[in-house]
Structure 1
Amino acid sequence: MAGGSKAAVYSAIGANTFVMVAKFVGFALTGSGTMLAEGIHSMADVGNQSLLAVGMSRAQLPPTPEHPYGYGRDAFVWALMSAVGIFFLGCGVTVAHGVQSLIVGGHHDATSAPWINLGILALSLVAEGASLYIAVRALQKQAKAQGLSLREHIRTTDDVFGVAVLLEDSAAVVGVILAFITVWLTHLTHAPYWDPIGSLLIGALLGGVALVLMRRNRALLIGQSVRPEELQRMNEIFRNDPVVEDVVMARAVVEGADAYHIAAEIDFDGRVLARRHLDGRDLDALARELDSGEKLMAFLEEFGDAVTDQVGEEVDRLEARIREVFPRARHVDLEPD
């Protein structure tokens, strides 16, 4: 797990805890539905990012007899739970409050000025922006290491924690801006409908983020393939090896937030293996030695055993080569066809 993603998750928990308390204080002082929506938004973020932290810890557990490939995919389970929490707690509660507020006529802050809420929102914007910056920087470092643009990396990465924090913090920043606008419009126009509209917009924003994250984690949880370029590179390694005659089947799926599971069935070239085994031996002298059925049978038994051992050595060599090219290949299963 990239250290940058851990830093992004824990910094997001700290920032959202701070702004959550501040937003609920603003709601308690003014009764603003927008502030309540933002408070619920931040509370959902704290809870969901705490789930991400649990998932990060669980995904690092070592393999056991019951789970021989480890707990890498547990990361996707907890990230999916986090996304569902955003949808039902963040989006659902916020939209329900906005609809209820519209039905009863909206809300208008009767205080002389909206400075309490605006000040809290400005402070929240700084905290949320700092957390977003940390998340972006972490993903930028990962993208640079893989030679990808930030956009392409975000689209294809299996670092569900970094992407989740990026989307949640982006939604938090946009949500604060929406809340700032609706609080200010409520004060300027004295119209009660701006406040519930702000709640509905924030709820819709959270719902969109949740759906994107749920779709992403579902694909990873059921076994998403690695990027096509990586799969092509893997096949090139096999096909360009002199002992490989054909690649019958090759698959590579994401096994965790930083792990691949690669499996392939390889048709080894028996002629190459035979030549390597017999290299340096005088074949004419060998032919003269095999002057009886008993000697021929003994040679064939020895030859078959040696070639079988050689196939095992070639499998080990190819697996090592795959791990060298793909450091994230935690599990490599190659089988002779």
Structure 2
Amino acid sequence: MWALGSCRAAAAMRYSCLTCHERQLSSWTSSFVPFRICPSSPSSCIVSSSRCLIRCASSETSTPPGDSKSASTTQPIAPLKPSAAAPTGSVPAVDAATTAKSKLDGKRKRRLPIDYSQEYTDNVYIPAVRAMNDYLLKPTDLDKLRKTTKRSPVTDSPPLTVFLKKDVEQRAIEVWGSMDALQRERKKRRETELERNVQVSNVKRLLRDIARGEGDSGREERDAYQDDQLKGSKRVVYSAIAINAANFSFKALAWLYTGSHSMFAETIHSFADTCNQAILAVGLMGSTKKPDKLHPYGYSSLRYVSSLVSGLGIFFFGFGLTVYHGIMGLLHPTAIAPLYWAFFVLGGSLLSEGGTLMVALGQIRKEARRQNVSIWNYVLRGQDPSVNVVLLEDIAAVLGVAIAATSMGLSTYYNSPLPDCIGSLCIGTLLGAVASFIIYTNTVALVGRSIPIALQQQMTQVLESDVLVRSVYDVKAIDMGGLNVRYKAEIDFDGRQLTRSYLDKQDLEMMLEESQNLKTIEDLEGFMSKHGENIVDLLGSEVDRIEASLRKKHPEVRHVDLEVL
């Protein structure tokens, strides 16, 4: 069989039966037949025209194409050889075409595969809004840039005008000078926007409070409570600084005059107390700073930090130096001068230290009574770290004066420096114990400590007593220092009660009429969306109301985080 032209399917039939025609052939004839793609191998039937001249074999009573009977009896035929009468000029034509195509394929440049491991952003487009927001450009800055339109991802929306990202970045560099300058401007605008959002949020909250008739009364009461506690702490710390500075001066003179090891220990003790209480004063002043962007919960923990530093100072300076001086006195004993002046100084120090001790004890008793806890529990939990440090230092000072007076009296009576050196060691040990207690209590407070269980249950009871609250879960209440408590809980709200509260504020007849006029799904969706949004706003207002109620009954609660289940 012969095929003319460039029909690959016809050329392929030279060595196979005409299976694609689904006819059984018995003799040779010449005819024009329309070429149909073979269903068994359609990919190989590529025809250059709608008809091919095929020299095919068919029987004298050839069955028309499409005869079902003949099609059903179609049998495979062995490959046929071309007839001798067939023209021989067509085969070289096909071979020449194939050879030419092979040469052309050999000259064609090989395409490089895509490397997906490398970044390529030259084809990234961004819309105009993003170009202006991310690169701080104006609409006039984008006029001269290359732009195109892309189909909008939102259905039934007009096409988007987009710009090449690399062109936008280049334009931003021209406007701002460099990408670093652009980043600085972004940061500046972000801070300004954050401050504006905070102010707007405060105004909204104030308007909600005024609408509920509450105003800032609860916040003012809380601030007054904390201001009173802070004033008491400052009074104790400042008086302790003045008295300890005076005691240090007199004890230093007495030590220089007598050379007593116990008096040296008391001198170091008063000097350490003066420095540490100055650190406490700095911490008190810093803790009054208002919250800012870097410290959104305020600086109340700074009091614990200053108290911790004070405890470390007492331990390393007071304990270490006095113990070292006592050991050196035992190893190298020396005669001591008359100690009469030292007794007068110790007597005055006992009176002054006792005075500051009573002031600190009175402040702690007042705050413990206000919080309905014992004095020991108040001190142990470090509720007011500054006053606690003053109290413990004054207790150590009074005991230290008693130890120094006893040791110096024994040294005078026995005329031996040994009791005086032992007294220095006892005073150092006392300072070490006090410093260790201060370090422990403030470290626990800084790590994050829960408030007492009884107080936490009282706060939870306030929430559970509200009509909208079904239950309270995952309660966490942390003492942040300075009478600042952070309370967090997950609330299961009663949806029916919340809906009833919303309906009480609506005109039900108007809502009924509006619902009866709903005709389409779109109308129903709009109706539900409007009232659903209003209910969500009401839920936010109810959360604010519950938080205000909790703060009113427990002024120490500074931050409340209520999550809706």
Assess same fold via TM > 0.5: yes
1:301 pairs with one of 529, 532, 543: 529
- Give the equivalent residue in structure 2 for 1:49: 277
User: Counterparts of 1:13-92 in structure 2 under 5 Å?
Assistant: 13-92=241-320
Q: What is the SS of the residue equivalent to 1:263?
A: strand
Higher mean alpha-carbon deviation, 199-208 vs 155-164, is at 155-164
1:138-176 per-position Cα deviation (integer Å, ceiling 9, x unaligned): 111112222333333323351101111110101000000
1:232 pairs with one of 457, 468, 480: 457
User: Counterparts of 1:283-294 in structure 2 under 5 Å?
Assistant: 288-290=516-518, 292-294=520-522
- RCO (CA 8 Å, sep 6+): is it higher in 1 or 2? 1
Indicate if the aligned counterparts of 2:382 and 2:445 stay in contact, CA closer than 8 A.
Answer: no
Indicate if the aligned counterparts of 1:59 and 1:256 stay in contact, CA closer than 8 A.
Answer: no
Higher mean alpha-carbon deviation, 214-223 vs 279-288, is at 279-288
2:376 pairs with one of 135, 147, 151: 151
Once the two structures are TM-superposed, the CA of residue 127 in structure 1 deviates from its matched residue by: 0.7
- Give the equivalent residue in structure 1 for 2:405: 180
User: Counterparts of 1:108-187 in structure 2 under 5 Å?
Assistant: 108-111=335-338, 114-187=339-412
Q: What is the SS of the residue equivalent to 1:232?
A: helix
One-letter code aligned to 1:59: S
Q: What is the SS of the residue equivalent to 1:61?
A: coil
Higher mean alpha-carbon deviation, 60-69 vs 262-271, is at 262-271
Q: What is the SS of the residue equivalent to 1:109?
A: coil
One-letter code aligned to 2:316: F
How large is the RMSD of aligned CA atoms in angstroms? 1.8
Pairing 1:323–2:551 present:
yes
In 2: Cα distance, 1:118 partner to 1:182 partner? 11
Greater share of residues in helix: 1
Pairing 1:266–2:491 present:
yes
Higher mean alpha-carbon deviation, 236-245 vs 167-176, is at 236-245
Gaps of 5+ in 2: 1-226
In 2: Cα distance, 1:100 partner to 1:322 partner? 60
Pairing 1:10–2:10 present:
no
Pairing 1:254–2:444 present:
no
In 2: Cα distance, 1:250 partner to 1:333 partner? 10
Gaps of 5+ in 1: none
One-letter code aligned to 1:329: V
- Give the equivalent residue in structure 1 for 2:332: 104
In 2: Cα distance, 1:151 partner to 1:177 partner? 23
One-letter code aligned to 1:66: L
1:244 pairs with one of 434, 449, 469: 469
One-letter code aligned to 1:298: G
Indicate if the aligned counterparts of 2:382 and 2:441 stay in contact, CA closer than 8 A.
Answer: no
Once the two structures are TM-superposed, the CA of residue 284 in structure 1 deviates from its matched residue by: 7.1
One-letter code aligned to 1:294: E
- Identity over the aligned pairs, expressed in percent? 39
One-letter code aligned to 1:12: A
In 1: Cα distance, 2:374 partner to 2:442 partner? 22
Indicate if the aligned counterparts of 2:326 and 2:422 stay in contact, CA closer than 8 A.
Answer: yes
Once the two structures are TM-superposed, the CA of residue 194 in structure 1 deviates from its matched residue by: 0.6
- Give the equivalent residue in structure 2 for 1:215: 440
Q: In the comparison of the two structures, how many residue pairs are matched?
A: 334
One-letter code aligned to 1:48: N
Once the two structures are TM-superposed, the CA of residue 115 in structure 1 deviates from its matched residue by: 1.1
In 2: Cα distance, 1:319 partner to 1:68 partner? 18
Pairing 1:201–2:429 present:
no
- Give the equivalent residue in structure 2 for 1:190: 415
Q: What is the SS of the residue equivalent to 2:396?
A: helix
Once the two structures are TM-superposed, the CA of residue 67 in structure 1 deviates from its matched residue by: 1.2
Indicate if the aligned counterparts of 1:108 and 1:195 stay in contact, CA closer than 8 A.
Answer: no
Indicate if the aligned counterparts of 1:156 and 1:227 stay in contact, CA closer than 8 A.
Answer: no
Pairing 1:94–2:319 present:
no
Indicate if the aligned counterparts of 1:19 and 1:124 stay in contact, CA closer than 8 A.
Answer: yes
Indicate if the aligned counterparts of 1:108 and 1:186 stay in contact, CA closer than 8 A.
Answer: no
Higher mean alpha-carbon deviation, 39-48 vs 139-148, is at 139-148
Once the two structures are TM-superposed, the CA of residue 335 in structure 1 deviates from its matched residue by: 2.3
Once the two structures are TM-superposed, the CA of residue 108 in structure 1 deviates from its matched residue by: 4.1
Once the two structures are TM-superposed, the CA of residue 62 in structure 1 deviates from its matched residue by: 1.1
Q: What is the SS of the residue equivalent to 2:561?
A: strand
In 2: Cα distance, 1:214 partner to 1:101 partner? 29
In 1: Cα distance, 2:365 partner to 2:335 partner? 43
Q: What is the SS of the residue equivalent to 2:467?
A: coil
One-letter code aligned to 1:169: D
Indicate if the aligned counterparts of 1:243 and 1:268 stay in contact, CA closer than 8 A.
Answer: yes
In 1: Cα distance, 2:342 partner to 2:356 partner? 21
Larger Rg: 2
One-letter code aligned to 2:475: A
Indicate if the aligned counterparts of 2:490 and 2:562 stay in contact, CA closer than 8 A.
Answer: yes
Indicate if the aligned counterparts of 2:360 and 2:391 stay in contact, CA closer than 8 A.
Answer: yes
In 1: Cα distance, 2:337 partner to 2:291 partner? 60
1:233-263 per-position Cα deviation (integer Å, ceiling 9, x unaligned): 1111112212112223222212232322222
Once the two structures are TM-superposed, the CA of residue 102 in structure 1 deviates from its matched residue by: 1.1
In 2: Cα distance, 1:319 partner to 1:284 partner? 34
